[in-house]
Structure 1
Amino acid sequence: MMAHSGRDADSDAGGPERHVPVLLNEVLEWLDPQEGEVVIDGTFGAGGYSRAILERGARVVGIDRDPDAIAGGQELVNQSAGQLILVPGQFAGLEVHAKAQGFDGVDGVVLDLGVSSMQLDEADRGFSFLRDGPLDMRMEQAGPSAADVVNELPVKDLIRIIGLLGEEKRATTVAHAIDKARKENPFSRTLELANLIEKVLGRSPKKAQIHPATRTFQALRIYVNGELHQAAEALGAAERILKPGGRLVLVSFHSLEDRIVKRFFQDRTRTRGGGSRHMPEEEVPPATFELLMRKAVEAAAEETDQNPRARSAKLRAGRRTEAPPRELDVHAAGVPRLAEFHGLGG
């Protein structure tokens, strides 16, 4: 996968860091792909991780929901001599995709969560609040768009989406401003929405480099693509498809993603339940993973200097045990409960 936004204002500007895989050396260290192994790259993107894994001699099942990424990866497929299988689809279904290709178990899974620079840098994809384009944000280029969300959802739902998924403290102000504006002219362009939010919220002198629309755009993108639901479901799918000893490596770019990953590993690596002298200790199922590091790994200063989009990246990893997989509750894992909209949100 290529570099990601890191959710900072200047991260939307593109630049020389485009298509640079974030934390590549660290991903390879903890994923540890070996010759003859099978690894799922659930977020293929521009193929940065997949290419490096192939160079280690492993076979790769690459998955991406973006048709542009699938089309762009065909050259690498042709160069791989059958070692790379590229599958269009959502990474939440990585277990199904792997089995459809004849793999009942794999040795590694890597996921680079969030939106890619390739998508951010294309104005026509509608992800950027700095470039004018259709208010779209659909990774799969199908289904309800961000324009549908801002024009059709009730104000109360917009408040929850912007507040929970964007962590925007002034979500109520933003939502009511959107509601007032859309009654006169429905939103269709990214800069229409970005300019409205900037007018309503203004620029903070302390955070002048961060665009006021950053959090709202993040919220809309996450909601339109069901990103948090996808991330949680992918963790469960990885647990089911990984062989004992298989490695799961995840790179996240904001607190909502990282919280889900952290909670998953905390739950799946527990060996003792809570208890007190008044209450018996809770019975805990066998751990399905063992942690490979105590704290999340972050990009070194050298990498962030060369690639600002790596600044907010966090890597966590675990190794699969022999314990049977468990049922997954996505909401217990940290996915907020939001209003349904054409099957999105959860």
Structure 2
Amino acid sequence: MARVLMKGNEAIGAAAINAGCRYFFGYPITPQNELPEYMSRELPNVGGVYLQAESEVAAINMVYGAAGAGARVMTSSSSPGISLKQEGISYIAGAELPCVVVNVMRAGPGLGGIQPAQADYYQATKGGGHGDYHLLVLAPANLQETVELVETAFDLADLYRNPVMILADGMIGQIMEPVEIKPYTPRPNLPPKDWTTTGTSASGGRRRIINSLFLDPDELEAHVLHLYEKYAEMARQEIRYELYNCENASVILVAYGTTARIARTAIEQCQRKGISAGLLRPISLYPFPFPAFEHVIDIPQAFLTVEMSMGQMLDDVKIAVAGRKPVHFYGRTGGNVPMPEDIVAKIEEMLRLK
């Protein structure tokens, strides 16, 4: 298939439909509005259903129902809208239902602004809603990777019976790049959905119940321990990252999403100044690629975390480095974007301090 110029939000929708998503429930909010618009136009053409709910709370509970019936289903929103979905996301994780949630991040807190940001890292990777649970979180840095990760997300959701979040900043949603939507083949050996609520005739006359309520503390503890065994398997199997120009780097930048692209430009500017810098780009934010740091820990003088936030990924980077090298931070917030020149200036300052 030829490459097609698409806006990021529309590319997400095209990839979801290509991966077999046939149900979408959402509610409008900038900067992800083109995604539900795309799904409203295209899903009926493949026998699917688009429904604009009366609220984000309603939308995520519609996802709960469709996922419980075994459908491939997706919802999307932007930061404060994802906040409203958190109770339902916790219910879905507790009930072990597969679905894909897309967050095209905007600036906060509160209503904040409509410009791009990365300040939902804590919300995405540390739970977000109530209780002991995790989402599998994937963070693309360009539109072709976004397409591929959206398709992967549906497979991973079915494999682990768990919600998967695509964490994309507003720039990913709004930029236009050429993408190729290749013929989709599901991941082999996905487990059968023999737990779905598709009626008693489909289950041999037996009722199937999907629930996240356990009134017996020992039963709930056993369930949570089971969930954490699943998260441990994710950490063994689903870590994704990229290393770029790290072989002889004096400083290794750690950045994800659009910020990682800006960091690569800063690395090129450093090279012209005779400074060797590299990039460690997390692609899976949960599970975080802690093992990646072991491959490069002895190389740089220091690490520099770059984010469109006040440093939410910084904590995980410090845990990964474990005090063996200095960890510095440079970030912009409020919808402002780090500039390559400012990152270079920060690197020069770090090396002078050394």
Global fold match (TM > 0.5):
no
What TM-score comes out, normalization by structure 2 length? 0.28
| TM-score of the superposed pair, with normalisation by structure 1 | 0.28
Greater strand fraction, Structure 1 or Structure 2:
2
- Which structure has more RCO (C-alpha within 8 Å, separation ≥ 6)? 1
